[in-house]
Amino acid sequence: VQLGDVVGIAVERSPALVIALLALMKCGAAYVPLDPAYPAERLEFMLADAGAKLLLASTPAALATTATVLAIDEALGQARSYSDQEPAALPDSQQVLYRPLPLKVLCGGEALPLELAGRLLARSQAVWNLYGPTETTIWSSAKQMNRADTEVTIGRPIANTQFYILDEHGRPTAPGTPGELCIAGDGVAIGYLNRPALTAEKFVANPFANQPGE
């Protein structure tokens, strides 16, 4: 395994998983996280789409059915992969994996109901609502929830991240005016793996950057 290689990982949560992920990071390789419970056709597509050279599995069953390259669902029912760049943020699953306990409660993916936030606050030190698409390495903004909150918002951009609300012409909107949320910063991926046309469409240069590459 060397710089730029992609490796499939089908290993249960264990010390071996941590060792494998750290080893791949040290080599400069990316990995495709695979759940053996997925249908064989989906696993095969994920491996082929990412161009994985190797598959690391902890059980023969996983082998028979089948940093970071993540698959995200499209309307057509397929998956697409994206590639992170260095330096960038670790996905939240890796941060939870490598950090010591106890942890604050970090909520992301689906919208966080206010009632659920209240129940979590009663059982934890702190609750954070996290927002961000997969293309920005999982989360781009954060809001610490408080018992006095009457609504759940996405908070403010995290460090080294910029949010822009733009109109259909790519111009900033006035406060309170609807628009499209565009995200820039260190956590943005370099593009979709093996999808140059889609990358060119979705990953555009930041016209508000202070210097090229931001």
- Domain residues for the domain of 42 are 6-83
What are the pLDDT digits (tens) for 129-181?
Answer: 999 998 987 889 999 999 999 999 999 999 999 999 999 999 999 999 999 99
In angstroms, the CA 77 to CA 62 distance is: 23
The answer on 112 and 48 residing in a single domain is: no
The answer on 108 and 18 residing in a single domain is: no
In angstroms, the CA 152 to CA 133 distance is: 18
- Looking at 62, 83, 104, the residue that finishes a domain is 83
Is the pLDDT higher at 198 or at 86?
A: 198
CA 155 to chain centre: 18
Within-domain flag for 210: no
The answer on 60 and 109 residing in a single domain is: no
The answer on 179 and 119 residing in a single domain is: yes
The answer on 125 and 103 residing in a single domain is: yes
In angstroms, the CA 157 to CA 182 distance is: 12
The model's pTM: 0.62
The answer on 132 and 67 residing in a single domain is: no
The answer on 155 and 115 residing in a single domain is: yes
Q: Domain with 10 in it: what CATH number?
A: 3.40.50.980
The answer on 69 and 15 residing in a single domain is: yes
The answer on 191 and 107 residing in a single domain is: yes
Please state whether the peptide bond connecting residue 175 to the residue before it is cis, i.e. omega within 30 degrees of 0.
no
What are the pLDDT digits (tens) for 40-70?
Answer: 888 888 888 888 888 887 765 544 444 445 4
**Eight-state DSSP code of residue 90:** P
Structure tokens at 124: 């934890």
**β-pair partners for 55:** 8
* Neighbouring C-beta atoms of residue 5, cutoff 10 Å: 16
In angstroms, the CA 130 to CA 110 distance is: 10
